[in-house]
């Protein structure tokens, strides 16, 4: 199982949010580039980056900073936040970013996902599903839809998507443990897809349980920044 350390960017800084609330943010590093360099020395494979400004504004606000992070790290990088146009995806991929995450557009314009996969390939496109009470949220988690996380995942799979990041918003940044039953359902219903867990991780036991469920990766954010899980422990899980 891959462990993906997270860097969420807001106003040029690396921050963490509590349950996706922009009014409850903590700066964890004033330099996302310095943070990326630290992660790059660990030996971990992937880096998960979210452009929070982009998610709010619907455009790739921090694209240049993210492209610089890719240059200074030796990690595979996936990026989400504000992806609304194929040209944004093309720009990221051309700059060396390895995967681009489509979130809101998967709900509002599902055909966009099919177009992106047809053009760039399923290995370059990640579907980001962020849910509250089981229903998908969009626009930086500020809008609530009536689509269940599982129904959206199945629909996107039919469009050719093979990689998913699922976040339970009520768990994100809380250190209260992931929504294990949701991951069990996703792995069961989409056996040929890669499911990446995100939100609530707070211990090595969580990582071990997610690995047993069969997720292909787990994003670690606050658990690392709070000291609950060390970088060495994250590497240990990925290498075993």
Is 51 one of the annotated active-site residues of the chain?
no
Whole-number Å distance between alpha carbons of 117 and 123: 8
- Report the relative pairing of strands 125-132 and 135-138 from DSSP bridges: antiparallel
Q: Which residues contact 106 (CB under 8 A, 6 or more apart)?
A: 112, 113, 127, 128, 129, 152, 156
Is 168 one of the annotated active-site residues of the chain?
no
Q: Which of 53, 130, 172, 206 is catalytic?
A: 130
The token pair at 184 is 């069990």
Q: Which of 8, 51, 168, 206 is catalytic?
A: 8
Q: Which residues contact 63 (CB under 8 A, 6 or more apart)?
A: 51, 54, 88, 91, 92, 95
- Active-site positions? 8, 130
């Amino acid at each position: 199982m891959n462990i993906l350390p997270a860097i969420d960017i807001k106003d040029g800084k690396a921050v963490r949010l509590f349950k996706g609330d922009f009014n409850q943010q903590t700066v964890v590093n004033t330099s996302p580039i310095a943070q990326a360099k630290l992660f790059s020395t660990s030996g971990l494979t992937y880096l998960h980056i979210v452009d929070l400004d982009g998610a709010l504004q619907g455009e790739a606000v921090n694209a240049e900073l993210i492209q610089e992070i890719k240059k200074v790290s030796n990690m595979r990088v996936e990026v989400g936040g504000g992806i609304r146009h194929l040209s944004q995806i093309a720009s990221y991929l051309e700059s060396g970013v390895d995967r681009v995450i489509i979130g809101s557009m998967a709900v509002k314009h599902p055909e966009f996902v099919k177009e992106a996969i047809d053009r760039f390939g399923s290995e370059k496109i990640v579907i980001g599903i962020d849910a509250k009470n089981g229903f998908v949220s969009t626009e930086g988690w500020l809008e609530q839809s009536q689509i269940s996380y599982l129904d959206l995942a199945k629909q996107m799979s039919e469009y050719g998507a093979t990689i998913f990041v699922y976040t339970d918003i009520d768990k994100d940044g809380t250190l209260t443990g992931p929504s294990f039953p949701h991951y069990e359902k996703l792995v069961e219903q989409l056996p040929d897809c890669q499911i990446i867990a995100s939100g609530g991780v707070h211990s090595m036991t969580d990582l071990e349980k997610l690995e047993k469920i069969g997720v292909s990766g787990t994003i670690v954010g606050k658990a690392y920044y709070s000291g609950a899980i060390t970088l060495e422990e994250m590497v240990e899980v990925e290498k075993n």
